[in-house]
Chain A
Amino acid sequence: QVQLVQSGAEVKKPGASVKVSCKASGYTFNSYFMHWVRQAPGQGLEWMGVINPSYGGTTYAQKFQGRVTMTRDTSTSTVYMDLTSLRSEDTAVYYCARGGPQQASARFDPWGQGTLVTVSS
């Protein structure tokens, strides 16, 4: 079955960086875009950006441009989300979610289990 498994929880200090991984299985990795969505405690969902696993092209939400980098490793069917210059407001659960075969599809299915990133001094 299609499955996304994310890396474990992280605790970081303000100003540091975090890299979250998302390993895909059960489908052709290169054929579907992968999105990243985060959710602050008690808050709603916030889209961060998308990567095309086939050639690595990315589109980032304006809010995160300059701080986020999404990459992929096709040999291990894994995508990564790197967020720099962390601040307390970045404390959230970060999800990867498989999109469609075209970029402009918000049919996110399935989602990873989530990775809690806590930013605290």
Chain B
Amino acid sequence: QSVLTQPPSASGTPGQRVTISCSGSSSNIGSNVVNWFQQLPGTAPKLLIYSNNQRPSGVPDRFSGSKSGTSASLAISGLQSEDEADYYCAAWDDSLNGLYVVFGGGTKLTVL
């Protein structure tokens, strides 16, 4: 199982607002920034949100990120059919085992 916990699936209708959660612990989300990635079917992942809530250039402002304590969320407003993809959260984890990157298990978003 993944160190970061995401719901396996989410869904919404076009135009709706959807949120995806990412739960961790004090050694990862609680002390490091969270990044989000979008993976369209059959393609490589793409950076969607970095440093908890920053959007790279080219990412629509329909996508937003937030973090509170040991949890983070990705929100997608004005849902569109092309948003149907897998979404992953990631953060550095600083534990007794060393410093390494952990991912969530991924959330498959379906646009109904």
A109 to B47, Cβ gap below 8 A?
Answer: yes
Q: Do residues B92 and A106 form an inter-chain contact, with CB atoms below 8 A?
A: yes
* B-contact bits for A101-121, CB 8 A (1 contact / 0 none): 001101111111110000000
Could you say which interface size class chain B belongs to? 20 to 34
By a CB distance below 8 angstroms, the chain B residues around A62 are: 97-98, 100
| A47-B104 in contact (CB<8A) | no
Which of A37, A59, A106 gathers the greatest number of chain B CB atoms within 10 Å? A106
Chain A nearest Cβ from B15, distance in angstroms: 29
Residue pair A95, B100 in contact (C-beta under 8 Å): no
How does the 8 Å CB contact mask read for A40-75 relative to B, with 1 for contact and 0 for none? Answer: 000011110010000000010110000000000000
How many angstroms between the C-alpha atoms of A24 and B37 in the bound complex?
A: 20
In the complex, A97→B46 CA distance in Å?
A: 10
Q: Are B99 and A104 in contact (CB under 8 A)?
A: yes
Given A44-B106, A95-B44, does the pair A108, B37 have CB atoms closer than 8 Å?
A: yes
- The verdict on B91 contacting chain A, using a C-beta distance below 8 Å, is yes
Interface: B76 (CB within 8 A): no
What size tier do the contact residues of chain A reach? 20 to 34
Do A111 and B104 touch (CB < 8 A)?
Answer: no
User: Given A62-B98, A104-B99, A111-B44, list of 15 further CB < 8 A pairs?
Assistant: A45-B88, A45-B103, A50-B101, A59-B99, A59-B100, A62-B100, A95-B44, A97-B45, A106-B33, A106-B92, A108-B90, A109-B46, A109-B47, A109-B50, A110-B46
Q: Which residues of A contact B (CB under 8 A)?
A: 35, 37, 44-47, 50, 59, 61-62, 95, 97, 103-104, 106-114
Instruction: Show the binding face of B for A, using Cβ within 8 Å.
Output: 2, 32-33, 35, 37, 44-47, 50-51, 56, 88, 90-92, 97-106
